[in-house]
């Protein structure tokens, strides 16, 4: 019996051939394992997909964008225990939309939305039903693209879905029932054949001597599932993936064809690759949003999953698109990447590994929302919590929401620990797989030994170009600075100038915070027992801040939550230099959602149009501050 699909009783029947088992249906756990295998396998080809990325813009980022999209799917599935196939499919679609990057990520997400719709209402699916859902996904993708270009992932998805069902009629019927081993083999053969034909359909691919990068990524996903079925256990499948990802063809060129390409800028192509994630209960239809953004844009894709809209477009005026989306709901994340700078960086790559010039890395204490990190491809090093004999990775093994619930429950809490140098080395190596230079913006060295550990980690990998930045900050202020660094990198700014600009901005920015009770501050040694007893007796709450040098200072104290809220916001506004131009804010809290709306309203009243990020306080910080803590970070850019 195939271990990958074991434990499902009579759904597997082995025929006379000893290595041939029939897989009669797919349920939630099976679909979860299949997608995890697909994500892992396709991600292994990231560098190759970047190398051959010449369409629609030869900027060498398709592999990176697809990998980030797949990371979002795999990360969400890791915690899933759903038994129904429709719920797993819906979860995959939603996480894909949240994490979608680039044209390929957006198209894959739209396909998955249709695929999930095709499985709606099913606890498990037969091969025929699964094939029909693939067709539904293909149709959904076709309908979402206003100006379809054949020879891309669009074509390969359509050809694969059609072959998987043996040809499905206009009503979604037809195709002989097959088991999943046969279905996936048929799907894989059709996908490979279709991929090989992409240069015949798209002249720019033939000119470069490559197949379409996004389409190849889809084929690698299918191959990952086929590998899981063939090899069964995760270890054998992983070995097959590694062997497949290694290039053993001596005739394969070690250079990227992007170097010989002419960039289409100056020929009507828009300059900024812009992506916007909008959340809200009353979002308009995709058609309405497309109509509003169509003028002056290219490569426009709009996808929706429930209360989430994701927009991708190429435009010369990204701010206008972002502002429009702000009228639809809450802009949870956005990015505008300068494609000419990307192209120049990719063109300068003489070997197969095409990387962007600068990547950004933070520690998990940055409190940067997941959607923002995904939008900009920001890497994260998790800080550590020691919970008895267990070591938990902050924001990976335990989420903020899970930890906040534990704060309310009382009892002993974990202690915190910095990542060892080896963990930083590994993180720098991973980030360097995407970027020539890594700018790491980390928690204040005055507050923790994390920065020193990162220095040792960088020394363990002298071949890497890592620029360490002492943020002299904590929590969301680190996140705001990292977001600015990512935006500067996307604009094409050199790494040395990015570091200098981040340090300049830090000098005029800050963060203030308060707590509901003083127990955790006392336990952490940051407040004396007598001060804590007196403060609790008088219901006095401190308002504290991190100064420009990274040291904690008191801004005042007040009695009662409303007075504390007023004092904290008053002091934040007073700290912002007079005449400041562009200011961005971040609100963080540990089980204190009631403060968000009134605090946000006051900030926006003083700075209309200012961006305000909202995020839960990460566990490693919440364990020191306790339930009810909250704070406001501000970043003064001009």
**Tens digits of per-residue pLDDT, 232-266?**
754 444 455 555 544 434 344 455 665 555 555 54
How far apart are alpha carbons 412 and 414 in whole angstroms? 7
Gap between the Cα atoms of 23 and 10, Å rounded:
9
- What does DSSP say about strands 630-636 and 510-514: parallel, antiparallel, or unpaired? antiparallel
Distance, in Å, from the CA atom of 342 to the CA atom of 44, rounded to the nearest integer, reads 22
Contact present, 325 and 317 (Cβ < 8 Å): no
Q: Which helix (H) or strand (E) holds 609?
A: none
The answer, yes or no, to whether residue 560 has pLDDT greater than 70, is: yes
% residues pLDDT > 90 (the chain): 57
**Cα dihedral 422/428/429/431 (nearest 10):** 150
pLDDT of 558 higher than 80: yes
- Tell me the pLDDT of the chain averaged across its residues: 84
| 3-class SS string, 235-294 | HHHHHHHHHHHCCCCCCCCCCCHHHHCCCCECCCECCEEEEEEEECCCCCCHHHHHHHHC
More confident site: 253 or 448: 448
Assign domain 27-245 to its CATH architecture: Alpha Horseshoe (1.25)
What one-character-per-residue DSSP string does 40-73 give? Answer: HHHHTTHHHHHHT--SSS--S-HHHHHHHHHHHH
Q: What is the pTM of this model?
A: 0.78
How would DSSP label each residue in 330-351? EEEEEEEEEHHHHHHHHHT--S
| pLDDT of res. 214 | 94
**Predicted local distance difference test score (pLDDT) of residue 354:** 60
pLDDT by residue (tens digit) across 260-291?
Answer: 555 555 444 677 889 999 999 999 999 999 99
Q: What is the mean pLDDT of residues 499-509?
A: 95
Continuous H helices in 122-172: 127-144, 153-164
Superfamily the domain 272-343 falls into: YebC, transcriptional regulation domain (3.30.70.980)
pLDDT tens-digit profile of 38-68? 999 999 999 899 888 888 777 778 898 999 9
Tell me the CATH number of domain 510-636, given options 3.40.50.970, 3.30.1180.10, 3.40.640.10, 3.40.50.2300.
Answer: 3.30.1180.10
If residue 632 lies in a helix (H) or strand (E), which one and from where to where? strand 630-636
Q: What is the mean pLDDT of residues 558-574?
A: 93
Q: Is the pLDDT of residue 352 over 60?
A: no
Report domain extents, the chain: 27-245, 272-343, 355-506, 510-636
Residue 607: its pLDDT value, please? 94
Sign of the torsion angle spanned by Cα atoms 527, 531, 537, 542 = negative
Ramachandran assignment for 155, one of left (phi > 0), alpha (psi -120 to 50 degrees), beta (any other):
alpha
CA distances in angstroms from 42 to 68, 428, 454, listed in the order given: 11, 22, 30
Work out whether strand 25-26 and strand 125-126 pair parallel, antiparallel, or are unpaired: antiparallel
Phi and psi torsions of 594, nearest 5°: -65, -20
pLDDT of residue 523: 55
Give the β-pairing of 630-636 and 540-546. unpaired
Cα–Cα nearest to 26, from 110, 77, 87, 73 = 87
What is the per-residue pLDDT across 507-557, written as a single tens digit (0 to 9) for each? Answer: 999 999 998 776 655 555 444 443 444 445 456 788 988 877 777 788 888
Distance from chain centroid for Cα 461: 26
| Six token digits for residue 92 | 């995959």
pLDDT of 353 reads: 52
> Which pLDDT does position 557 carry in this prediction?
86
In the predicted model, is pLDDT for residue 18 greater than 90? no
35 near 82, Cβ under 8 Å?
A: no
Q: Name the pairing type of β-strands 379-381 and 583-589.
A: unpaired
Contact 490, 376 (CB under 8 A): yes
Q: Does 197 have pLDDT greater than 80?
A: yes
What is the pLDDT, as a whole number, of residue 164?
Answer: 83
Whether the CB-CB separation of 312 and 324 falls below 8 Å is answered with: no
Give 3's pLDDT tier (boundaries 50, 70, 90).
Answer: very low
The token pair at 298 is 């290219």
- Give the number of residues written for the chain: 638
- pLDDT surpassing 50 at residue 504: yes
**CATH dotted code for 355-506:** 3.40.50.10170
For the cut 50, the answer to whether the pLDDT of residue 17 exceeds it is: no
C-alpha–C-alpha distance, residues 550 and 475, integer Å = 12
State the sign of the Cα–Cα–Cα–Cα dihedral 89, 95, 98, 99. Answer: negative
Q: Which H helix or E strand runs over 198? A: helix 198-201
At 509, list the tokens: 């920015």
Handedness of CA 587, 592, 595, 596 (dihedral sign): positive
CA distances to 142, 349, 600 from 345, rounded to whole Å, are 32, 7, 39
Backbone angles phi, psi at 635, to 5 degrees: -125, 115
Let me know: does 527 contact 625? Beta carbons within 8 Å.
Answer: no
pLDDT at 169 over 50: no
Kindly list the distances between the CA atom of residue 289 and the CA atoms of 230, 302, 309, in Å, as whole numbers in the listed order: 44, 7, 9
Q: Is the dihedral of CA 87, 378, 312, 50 positive or negative?
A: negative
CB 564 within 8 A of CB 516: no
Indicate the pLDDT class of residue 359, thresholds 50, 70 and 90: very high
Per-residue confidence (pLDDT) for residue 72, from 0 to 100:
92
pLDDT at 86 over 70: yes
Contact 115, 17 (CB under 8 A): no
**pLDDT confidence of residue 411:** 67
Q: pLDDT for 373-407, tens place per residue?
A: 988 989 999 999 988 888 889 998 888 888 888 87
pLDDT of amino acid 568: 96
Instruction: Name residue, tokens 């127990």.
Output: 519
- 265, two tokens: 């800028």
- What tokens were used for 367? 């409190």
d(CA 250, CA 262): 27
């Amino acid at each position: 019996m195939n271990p990958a699909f074991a434990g499902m009783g009579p759904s597997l029947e082995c025929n006379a051939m000893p290595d041939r088992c029939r897989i009669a249906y797919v349920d939630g756990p099976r679909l979860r394992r299949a997608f995890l295998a697909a994500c892992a396998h396709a991600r292994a080809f990231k560098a190759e997909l970047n190398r051959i990325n010449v369409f629609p813009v030869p900027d060498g980022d398709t592999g990176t964008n697809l990998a980030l999209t797949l990371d979002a799917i795999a990360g969400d599935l890791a915690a899933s225990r759903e038994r129904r196939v429709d719920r797993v499919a819906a979860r995959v679609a939603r996480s894909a939309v949240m994490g979608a990057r680039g044209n390929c990520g957006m198209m894959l997400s739209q396909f998955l939305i249709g695929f999930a719709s095709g499985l709606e209402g099913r606890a498990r699916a037969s091969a025929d039903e699964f094939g029909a859902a693939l067709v539904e996904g293909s149709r959904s993708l076709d309908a979402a693209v206003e100006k379809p270009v054949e020879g891309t992932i669009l074509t390969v998805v359509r050809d694969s879905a059609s072959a998987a069902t043996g040809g499905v009629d206009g009503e979604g019927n037809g195709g002989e029932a097959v088991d999943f081993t046969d279905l996936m083999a048929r799907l894989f053969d059709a996908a490979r054949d279709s991929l090989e034909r992409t240069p015949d359909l798209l002249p720019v691919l033939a000119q470069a001597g490559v197949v379409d990068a996004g389409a190849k990524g889809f084929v690698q996903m299918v191959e990952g599932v086929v590998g899981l079925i063939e090899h069964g256990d995760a270890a054998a499948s992983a070995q097959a993936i590694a062997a497949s990802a290694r290039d053993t063809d001596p005739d394969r060129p070690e250079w990227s064809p992007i170097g010989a390409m002419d960039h289409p800028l100056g020929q009507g192509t828009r300059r900024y690759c812009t992506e916007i994630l909008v959340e809200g209960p009353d979002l308009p239809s995709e058609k309405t949003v497309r109509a509003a953004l169509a003028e002056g844009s290219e490569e426009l894709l709009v996808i929706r999953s429930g209360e989430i809209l994701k927009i991708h477009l190429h435009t010369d005026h990204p701010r206008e698109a972002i502002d429009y989306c702000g009228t639809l709901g809450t802009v949870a994340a956005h990015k505008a990447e300068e494609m000419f700078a990307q192209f120049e960086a990719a063109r300068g790559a003489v070997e197969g590994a095409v990387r962007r010039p600068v990547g950004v890395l933070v520690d998990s204490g940055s409190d940067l929302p997941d959607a923002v990190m995904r939008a900009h491809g920001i890497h994260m090093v998790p800080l550590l919590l020691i919970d008895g004999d267990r070591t938990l990775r902050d924001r990976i093994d335990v989420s903020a929401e899970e930890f906040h619930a534990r704060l309310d429950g009382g009892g002993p809490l974990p202690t915190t620990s910095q990542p060892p140098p080896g963990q930083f080395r590994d993180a720098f190596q991973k980030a360097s797989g995407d970027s020539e230079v890594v700018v790491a913006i980390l928690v204040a060295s005055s507050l923790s030994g994390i920065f020193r550990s990162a220095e040792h980690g960088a020394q363990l990998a002298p071949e890497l170009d890592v620029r360490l930045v002492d943020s002299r900050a904590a929590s969301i202020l680190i996140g705001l600075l990292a977001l600015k660094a990512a935006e500067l990198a996307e604009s094409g700014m050199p790494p040395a100038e990015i570091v200098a600009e981040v340090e300049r901005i830090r000098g005029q920015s800050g963060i203030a915070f308060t707590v509901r009770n003083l127990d955790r501050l006392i336990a952490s040694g940051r407040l004396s027992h007598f001060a804590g007893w007196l403060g609790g007796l008088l219901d006095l709450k401190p308002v504290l801040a991190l100064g420009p040098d990274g040291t904690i200072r008191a801004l005042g104290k007040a009695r009662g939550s409303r007075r504390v809220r007023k004092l904290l916001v008053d002091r934040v506004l007073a700290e912002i230099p007079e005449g400041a131009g562009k200011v961005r804010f971040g609100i963080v809290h540990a089980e204190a959602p009631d403060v968000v709306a009134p605090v946000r309203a006051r900030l926006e009243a003083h700075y209309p149009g200012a961006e305000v990020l909202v995020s839960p306080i990460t566990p490693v910080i919440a364990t020191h501050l306790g339930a009810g803590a909250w704070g406001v970070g501000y970043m003064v850019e001009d």
